[in-house]
Structure 1
Amino acid sequence: MPLFDYHCKACQAEFELLVRSSTVPTCPHCGSTDLEKCVSRIAPAGKIEAIRMAHRRAAHAQGHFNHYSPSDQAKLLKGKRV
């Protein structure tokens, strides 16, 4: 599941979402589907792992890893590959 940056045209919110190919992304603030996919900023060298883990923790907090087993969730949050 790729992580994308979006800009909501309805409420002007900017956010990131993990999106499956079969789902239509919606704004978590207003529920609109009128979104613009944004170009993600390039991570500075040496910061990529910390940024990736921060995104995983945020995705986990939003429930995006609920379909994984508890042991696989723990591995994802420790930075190990599942």
Structure 2
Amino acid sequence: MGDVKIYVGNIAFECHEDDILAEFSRIGPVGDVSLVRDEEGRIRGFGFVTMRSKEDGQKAIDALDGMPVRGRKIAVRESNN
């Protein structure tokens, strides 16, 4: 669903996929947003976003790393996996 998988860390526990999608969609088309949850369904504070193009992926990393979302500055970088 895209060319670039991005790791997003330091996500506020009150965040939802729609919050992250809204921020990344400002940069370009998003293929997928997946926040990692524990066995009880609570956000674990990180997740992954797939951007549809490499160019938009790099723009998202540059623009959104350190940006506050729901009171916490998110960490945004290319995913290792």
Question: TM-score with structure 1 length normalisation?
Answer: 0.28
Which entry has the higher C-alpha Rg, 1 or 2? 1
More RCO (CA 8 Å, sep 6+): 2
TM-score (norm 2): 0.28
